[in-house]
Amino acid sequence: MINLNTQFFLSKIHKKSFCEILGSFLSRKSGQKCCVYGQNGKPLKKETVKKFLDNMQATNNFEVQKERDISDFRKSLKLINWKPNEDYTILTRVFYFKNVFYLTDFIKEIYNTDYSANLQQIPNIHVLKKELLKIELTTPDLKGLSMKDLQLAFALNSLSFEKFLLYPIMEEENYKREIRNITLFEQQDKGKDGSFQERTKLRNKYDALQYEKLIENKEAYNKDFENLLNQEPNFDEKNLKFNENNLAFEKQNKIEDSELNNDSGCCSPEGTCACKQASKYKL
């Protein structure tokens, strides 16, 4: 007779696999997926991401309060943080850029930061409406965020955005209004200190250097483009006729091969048997 304890144990075995029952004795990672992010193949929970963003915002507030030599507008820019989507599976930051050459350098700085931190997340980068840069952090394998995404978000926040003439944007939908405020801020800041003048000089010098690099190849580029656009196609009539004959010959062979396969029951439609080779070469 089987007692109640044995019957209960057998019912558990019937419902669960051997690894699920004894897995904790065999390995502490039993039942977990092999995940390079150490998250069991699952994205971070919404509460975890929200707590991280709240702590980052509190840190930014503390850092801004220590800054006494910057204007209120600059403080407001420094307080703009990463923005999550509804499911907290993607973090985004949007910037307004005034110089595309600085933008390319900033993108290089992003990937250098990712590489130096040994994260290898490679964020998604989009250029929108010719004046907005959008950075997206997510982990496709997890269909959400990983701890590496949060580490990269923290590392990118330490970059100097003004160095690249970038201005954080709070709302992508209403960015025009924020750009007007940025332009007004630059005009007001022009007479207070020399920072705006220095940035302008640096920008003009940078533009001049980039323009010199581009102008070197401008004439050759224009010439090649005009040739490609205006030149008449040059065909060799002899080669053209030869190619037409080859196409007709190959087409005829395909027809004969198909007839041979259908009529004689050729064993190999790939053309490796002797009967098909014989038909190709008219043997």
- Domain ranges, ordered by start, for the chain: 10-36, 46-189, 252-283
Cα-based distances in Å from 83 to 52, 166, 173: 12, 17, 13
pLDDT exceeds 80 at position 219:
no
How many other CB atoms sit within 10 Å of the CB of residue 85?
A: 11
Q: Which residue has the higher pLDDT, 157 or 4?
A: 157
Separation of alpha carbons 166 and 127, rounded Å: 13
**CATH fold for the domain made of 46-189:** Gyrase A; domain 2 (3.30.1360)
Separation of alpha carbons 199 and 187, rounded Å: 13
Question: Average pLDDT, whole number, for the chain?
Answer: 75
Burial 224-240 (b: 16+ CB within 10 A, else e): eeeeeeeeeeeeeeeee
Task: Report pTM.
Answer: 0.62
Q: Give residue 220's pLDDT band: very low, low, confident or very high (50, 70, 90).
A: low
Condensed to tens digits (0 to 9), the pLDDT of residues 119-173 reads 888 899 999 999 999 999 999 999 999 999 999 999 999 898 988 889 999 999 8
